[in-house]
A and B are shown apart, each in its own frame.
Chain A
Amino acid sequence: MDSAPLPAPADKTLLRFLTCGSVDDGKSTLIGRLLYDSDAILADQLETLERESKKFDTTGEDIDLALLLDGLEEERQQGITIDVAYRLFQTKRRAFIVADTPGHKQYTRNMATGASTAELALLLVDAHKGIVTQTRRHSLICSLLGIRHVVLAVNKLDLVDFDRSTFDAVAKAYREFAADLGFRSLQAIPISARFGDNVARTSPRVPWYDGPALLDYLETVEIDHRDDMTGFRFPVQWVNRPGPDFRGVAGTIAAGTIAPGDPIVVTGSGVQSRIKEIVTYDGPLVRAATGDAVTLTFSDDIDVARGDVLASPKSRPEFADQFAAHIIWMWDEPLVPGRSYWLKLGARTVPATVTTLKHRIDVDNGSHVAARTLALNEIGLCNLSTAQPIAFDPYAKSRETGGFILIDRLTNETAGAGMIDFALRRASNIRRQAETIGADARAALKGQRPAVLWFTGLPGAGKSTIANQVEQKLVALGNHTMLLDGDNVRHGLNRDLGFTDVDRVENIRRLGEVAKLMADAGLIVICAFISPFRADRLMAREIVGPHDFIEVFIDTPLEECIRRDPKGLYAKAQAGEIPNFTGLDSPYEAPEAPEVTLATIGHDADALADALIDTLRERGIIG
């Protein structure tokens, strides 16, 4: 076995492509046909297929090749494709990974998923329907996701008697439409997926077509991998340190090439060194390139961690905490500007917010529409801000270092995907003014540690009453305080805000920033806001940053609040006079792990305030 020749032809390449088109254009049939004609379908699978074709009775006597693809029981029964499916087949020349994505409008997110790793799009149109809205939408998404090679398969040509002018008209219309979508190659092929014309072999029924058959084209089309768009990029995935004798960083080269002796810089810290060795299990390499998974060691002992990006010093990536990006929203709950999400790009995960939603893109025609949120499957151009600066490249230059996902912080759902366009401000240019007198010095003078006490609870729970008591007691003890009350702030700083989800987030963001400034001034800041959403309280906590943040849950059951109703608000809301009233038609999310819970039933405000003062003393905030 040792001396046996390798059976794999050394030059077999891999092409990842995506199929798209509207429902019933024949996508599944076409892929089934490609698999069938390239012998990727084995005898027992064919047997199952014949059985199922009879059972679902979709194509009469023939076997229905589309049934090869619809993998979920539900899909087979309903004859629709729900989710992106990945199919593998190989010919002598190439291996293919096909992402088969659903055509329905509501599945934009699945299409984007399939497109994110595809190098080419196989776009189907039905010859006698021509270019439809769905065709335009899918082309736009492909373009946005950086696909640069397109095959336009004009299908069901059998239904128009293989008429040349029909094909020519569709191909021409599409070329005109796609002119500014940035495609570098566009090949139109007349086919019949059902009968196999021009799929694996050119067909005598289409004598006027002198181009390649589809499979032939897919086997030979040149895909440039655009390594030269950025310099060397290496997102550090894993620090490999088995013992004192070895320290290397492992990752996959996102762009460029590297060789021992080459200089590198750690983006962010700016620390430079040289590559000592490219370590692999098979021995050291003299050179490694885009897509290689390697481990690097350096000639100096430099500080590098997961999430850092190594780059060539001569062409560094952007390093910024504010940038513009196109975002595709992928989750049922809409994007809320101002809300904090996790942003993951390469091996880096940081809190991030959308600061401005500039516009939504109408994917049917590419036009820009004003918007305040993005709903599931909508696409918009946004400005984002991250809690720490991150290294990236524009997506158009590098998918690997320019594409990110947004994760909802409470449910962990993948909520959106983003493609970075450009940095808004280089982080290095907005270095903060160094303060000579710090928060600690200011607080020390007051004999206390600054802190933010964040009261949350239903309307009428007792927040304001207890907060006031606490402040009185603190002042009596000689501490320096400031009380921010939700209702009061809405008359001034936040009087431009209403009670929609978006406005509530902005309300809390501003209050968080104000609380932080006051804590910087050395004060103990008492905030009494309903702040109904966990995500937003989390955001406030992050804004307040290094200062102590004490979330105080004023725990009063809803029935009790309604019974007390000190300001008569529940009565009004129940009469329909106040829409979006928290506790009634707008939800209140109780804290999962507050620092302090004050259950009000059976205790008076004074005793509860004392309890909180004790906590502050225990935590060393007051003397």
Chain B
Amino acid sequence: MSEAAAFSTHLKRLEAEAIGVLREVAAEFRNPVLLYSIGKDSSVLLHLALKAFHPAKPPFPLLHVDTTWKFREMIAFRDRIVAKLGIELIVHTNEEGLARGIDPVASGSALHTQVMKTEALKQALDKFDFDAAIGGARRDEEKSRAKERIFSFRGAGHAWDPRHQRPEMWHVFNTRLRPGESIRVFPLSNWTELDVWHYIAAERIEVVPLYFAKMRPVVKRSRAWIMVDDQRLPLDPGETPEQRLVRFRTLGCYPLTGAIESKAATVEDIVAELRQARQSERQGRLIDSDAEASMEKKKREGYF
């Protein structure tokens, strides 16, 4: 217990709050699922789920919505972790979107996100009849997130209505649903990016190596370094990948995820770097800069 004792009281309170939320989900919902996107927030979420139900295993499966454009290292990491823990993993891909040839490069980030992430997620939730989906979103990520509840109600069709959210008093969560309705649950709502890394350090949580600086083949695209993860990324005439010391602050589909130049090779380096950082992590996500209200719009449509 010396590890946990070394936490700041602040991290301990965040951890306890998240564990309480996860247990409430298990107790109150018929068929919950944990959305596992393989990134650092998901890794923390999974770790918290292990803690919440110890010595039992988490009483819900993991769901990964795979666009088929994730970094290869992400998929390898996912499969290894799931095998190690012996937890059920459901992988869902929007096959119909694939058949239509939607891809992040040719179709553009907006359409790709809509079809392969938002639509795919809705398909999976409907297919397996999940009534609660646990996700790793945090309020510090973006402005409209700051207004979202920990238990975020979704009407039929998974839509978020920001004008009509259930008031959330104390830690008493209204989990009641009618057929066709569902709830998204965000146990990390009150964590910041820095908290996540502090926690990863304190708890020695394994994360995808892409978060750590390494020489990687990249090309420069609209102010961001894009990694050439496989042959599918079309190169412009004359464009050749160069090796740079880079790392990622968030992970997603590789053609849409910008790397930053960094020397941070350990969790401690990352924490130190973040202390200096003058860029928010969403900056690495190309999908957000489309319009400043774009996240709210996506969420109304059912995006996580």
Q: Which residues of A contact B (CB under 8 A)?
A: 1-2, 4-14, 42-45, 48, 51-52, 68-74, 76, 82-88, 90, 94-95, 97, 109-110, 112-113, 116-117, 237-238, 240-242, 246, 250-252, 279-283, 285, 291-293, 295, 306, 330, 342, 344-347, 399-400, 403-405, 407, 412-414, 417
Which residues from B are CB-within-8-Å of A292?
A: 12, 16
0/1 interface trace, chain B 256-282, chain A, CB 8 Å (1 if under): 000000000011100110000111101
Interface locus among B18-26, B79-87, B117-125, B230-238:
B18-26
- B217 in contact (CB, < 8 A): no
- B220 in contact (CB, < 8 A): no
Task: Kindly report which residue of chain B lies nearest to residue A100, judged by CB atoms.
Answer: B146
Which residues from B are CB-within-8-Å of A291?
A: 12-13, 16
Which residues from B are CB-within-8-Å of A241?
A: 56
The listed residue with most A CB atoms (<10 A of its CB), out of B12, B163, B174, is: B174
CA distance A76 to B6 in the complex (A): 42
- Known contacts A13-B10, A403-B172; 12 additional CB pairs below 8 A are A8-B198, A13-B9, A45-B280, A86-B190, A88-B140, A237-B20, A242-B55, A252-B20, A347-B24, A400-B171, A407-B176, A412-B178
Q: How far is the CB of A352 from chain B (nearest CB, A)?
A: 14
CA distance A251 to B21 in the complex (A): 10
Q: In the bound complex, do residue B9 and residue A42 qualify as a contact, i.e. CB atoms below 8 Å apart?
A: no
Tell me which of B12, B178, B181, B192 contacts A90 (CB under 8 A).
B192
CA distance A200 to B261 in the complex (A): 32
0/1 interface trace, chain B 173-191, chain A, CB 8 Å (1 if under): 0101110010000000111
Q: In the bound complex, do residue A43 and residue B279 qualify as a contact, i.e. CB atoms below 8 Å apart?
A: yes
- B66 in contact (CB, < 8 A): no
Which residues from A are CB-within-8-Å of B171?
A: 117, 252, 400
Tell me which of B9, B143, B272, B297 contacts A7 (CB under 8 A).
B272
- Selected A-B contacts with CB under 8 Å, 25 pairs: A4-B201, A7-B201, A8-B8, A43-B280, A69-B143, A74-B163, A83-B162, A83-B163, A88-B139, A88-B190, A94-B10, A112-B169, A113-B169, A117-B170, A237-B23, A237-B24, A238-B53, A240-B53, A242-B55, A283-B1, A291-B13, A345-B172, A412-B176, A413-B166, A414-B167
CA distance A116 to B9 in the complex (A): 20
Q: In the bound complex, do residue A281 and residue B204 qualify as a contact, i.e. CB atoms below 8 Å apart?
A: no
Which residues from A are CB-within-8-Å of B162?
A: 72, 82-83
Task: Kindly report which residue of chain B lies nearest to residue A2, judged by CB atoms.
Answer: B204
Which residues from B are CB-within-8-Å of A76?
A: 293
Which residues from B are CB-within-8-Å of A83?
A: 147, 162-163, 165
A-B complex: 6 closest residue pairs judged by Cβ atoms: A242-B56, A71-B143, A12-B8, A293-B19, A43-B278, A281-B51
CA distance A295 to B22 in the complex (A): 14
Tell me which of B50, B266, B280 contacts A42 (CB under 8 A).
B280
- B7 in contact (CB, < 8 A): yes
- B68 in contact (CB, < 8 A): no
Q: In the bound complex, do residue B51 and residue A280 qualify as a contact, i.e. CB atoms below 8 Å apart?
A: yes
- B3 in contact (CB, < 8 A): yes
Which residues from B are CB-within-8-Å of A404?
A: 172
Which residues from A are CB-within-8-Å of B169?
A: 112-113, 116, 403, 405, 414, 417
CA distance A599 to B27 in the complex (A): 41
Which residues from A are CB-within-8-Å of B191?
A: 88
- B245 in contact (CB, < 8 A): no
- B283 in contact (CB, < 8 A): yes
Tell me which of A52, A70, A87 contacts B139 (CB under 8 A).
A87
Which residues from A are CB-within-8-Å of B14?
A: 14
Task: Kindly report which residue of chain A lies nearest to residue B19, judged by CB atoms.
Answer: A293
Q: In the bound complex, do residue A86 and residue B50 qualify as a contact, i.e. CB atoms below 8 Å apart?
A: no
- B15 in contact (CB, < 8 A): yes
Which residues from A are CB-within-8-Å of B55?
A: 240, 242, 246, 279
CB-CB under 8 A for A97 and B170, given A6-B6, A240-B53: no
- B52 in contact (CB, < 8 A): yes
Task: Kindly report which residue of chain B lies nearest to residue A245, judged by CB atoms.
Answer: B55
Q: In the bound complex, do residue A87 and residue B146 qualify as a contact, i.e. CB atoms below 8 Å apart?
A: yes
Q: In the bound complex, do residue A4 and residue B11 qualify as a contact, i.e. CB atoms below 8 Å apart?
A: no
Q: In the bound complex, do residue B192 and residue A344 qualify as a contact, i.e. CB atoms below 8 Å apart?
A: no
- B194 in contact (CB, < 8 A): yes
Contact residues of A: prevailing secondary structure: mixed
Which residues from A are CB-within-8-Å of B142?
A: 71
Q: In the bound complex, do residue A110 and residue B167 qualify as a contact, i.e. CB atoms below 8 Å apart?
A: yes
Which residues from B are CB-within-8-Å of A403?
A: 169-170, 172
Q: In the bound complex, do residue B177 and residue A250 qualify as a contact, i.e. CB atoms below 8 Å apart?
A: no
Q: In the bound complex, do residue A414 and residue B166 qualify as a contact, i.e. CB atoms below 8 Å apart?
A: yes
Q: In the bound complex, do residue B201 and residue A6 qualify as a contact, i.e. CB atoms below 8 Å apart?
A: yes
CA distance A42 to B266 in the complex (A): 22
Q: Which of B189-230 contact A (CB under 8 A)?
A: 189-192, 194-195, 198, 201-202, 204
Q: In the bound complex, do residue A293 and residue B166 qualify as a contact, i.e. CB atoms below 8 Å apart?
A: no
Q: How far is the CB of A25 from chain B (nearest CB, A)?
A: 20
Q: How far is the CB of A242 from chain B (nearest CB, A)?
A: 4
Q: In the bound complex, do residue A97 and residue B8 qualify as a contact, i.e. CB atoms below 8 Å apart?
A: no
Which residues from A are CB-within-8-Å of B174?
A: 344, 405, 407, 412, 414
Q: Which of B46-77 contact A (CB under 8 A)?
A: 50-57
Tell me which of A6, A42, A116, A306 contacts B279 (CB under 8 A).
A42
Q: In the bound complex, do residue A14 and residue B13 qualify as a contact, i.e. CB atoms below 8 Å apart?
A: yes
Q: In the bound complex, do residue B9 and residue A12 qualify as a contact, i.e. CB atoms below 8 Å apart?
A: yes
CA distance A71 to B181 in the complex (A): 25
- B105 in contact (CB, < 8 A): no
Q: How far is the CB of B137 from chain A (nearest CB, A)?
A: 12
Task: Kindly report which residue of chain B lies nearest to residue A236, judged by CB atoms.
Answer: B27
Q: In the bound complex, do residue A44 and residue B279 qualify as a contact, i.e. CB atoms below 8 Å apart?
A: yes
Which residues from B are CB-within-8-Å of A117?
A: 170-171
CA distance A5 to B202 in the complex (A): 9
CA distance A283 to B2 in the complex (A): 10
- B239 in contact (CB, < 8 A): no
Q: In the bound complex, do residue A71 and residue B167 qualify as a contact, i.e. CB atoms below 8 Å apart?
A: no
CA distance A306 to B181 in the complex (A): 24
Q: In the bound complex, do residue B266 and residue A238 qualify as a contact, i.e. CB atoms below 8 Å apart?
A: no
Q: In the bound complex, do residue B52 and residue A71 qualify as a contact, i.e. CB atoms below 8 Å apart?
A: no
- B298 in contact (CB, < 8 A): no
Tell me which of A42, A43, A112, A342 contacts B176 (CB under 8 A).
A342
Which residues from A are CB-within-8-Å of B53?
A: 238, 240, 250
- B110 in contact (CB, < 8 A): no
Q: In the bound complex, do residue B16 and residue A252 qualify as a contact, i.e. CB atoms below 8 Å apart?
A: yes
Task: Kindly report which residue of chain A lies nearest to residue B203, judged by CB atoms.
Answer: A282
Q: How far is the CB of A230 from chain B (nearest CB, A)?
A: 16
Q: How far is the CB of A109 from chain B (nearest CB, A)?
A: 5
Which residues from B are CB-within-8-Å of A73?
A: 144, 293, 296-297
